[in-house]
Amino acid sequence: MQKDRLYRPNVAVVILSSAYPQKKEIFLAQRCDLKGVWQFPQGGIDDGEEPLEAMFRELSEEIGTSEVELIAEYPRWLSYDFPTRIAQNMTPFVGQKQRYFLVRLKDDSLVDIATSEPEFDAFKFVQVEEVLSLGASFKKDVYSEVIDYFMQKGYL
């Protein structure tokens, strides 16, 4: 009998700078616990919470602002498995299934990663081409699919 594979419901956010659409700069943040690993803000969806609600909550918790304009949503759930070193701390989950959103920071938004429970210790805005070279290897397929989709739709 095959063990059920449990994926944690999650949202992830591709954030464009307030200079969008003139400049297509994407926000990446470096995890406090994994030096050299840059990622999009993301986080779990609480029971009874809709993905869009979770997105705004996670932005406030992780980057200190939810002052964004929603541009688009990736049309389906994407999933990835945790590497072994991470999976042991995420029981019973073997990975995450995610909904991706594309947003633009509002002109007066102030990013502050020094939140009450910081997940990031640095952030920067990068060109689209740089995202895949900086992201965690186990997320690259998902990141590639999301970036390609938003590019095909003309957003990036």
- What predicted TM-score, i.e. pTM, was given to this entire model? 0.92
Query: What is the per-residue pLDDT across 144-156, written as a single tens digit (0 to 9) for each?
Result: 999 999 999 999 9
Choose the weakest-confidence range: 11-15, 23-27, 79-83, 91-95: 91-95
Q: Domain for residue 83, yes or no?
A: yes
Query: What is the per-residue pLDDT across 44-76, written as a single tens digit (0 to 9) for each?
Result: 999 999 999 999 999 999 999 999 999 999 999
Res 150: pLDDT? 98
Q: Domain for residue 98, yes or no?
A: yes
Res 93: pLDDT? 87
CATH number at residue 28: 3.90.79.10
Q: Domain for residue 2, yes or no?
A: no
Res 4: pLDDT? 56
Res 1: pLDDT? 33
Res 74: pLDDT? 98
Which tokens hold the place of 105?
């920071």
Res 86: pLDDT? 75
Q: Domain for residue 48, yes or no?
A: yes
Longest dimension (CA), the chain: 54
Residue 85: phi and psi, rounded to 5, are -65, -25
Domain count, the chain: 1
Share of the chain above pLDDT 90, in %: 81
Render 47-79 in DSSP notation, one character per residue.
TT--HHHHHHHHHHHHHS---EEEEEE-SS-EE
Is the C-alpha dihedral spanning 110, 114, 117, 123 positive or negative? positive
Q: Is the Cβ–Cβ distance between 68 and 15 less than 8 Å? A: yes
Res 2: pLDDT? 42
Domain that holds residue 97: 7-152
Q: Domain for residue 41, yes or no?
A: yes
Q: Which residue has the higher pLDDT, 89 or 20?
A: 20
Mean pLDDT computed over every residue of the chain: 92
Q: Domain for residue 1, yes or no?
A: no
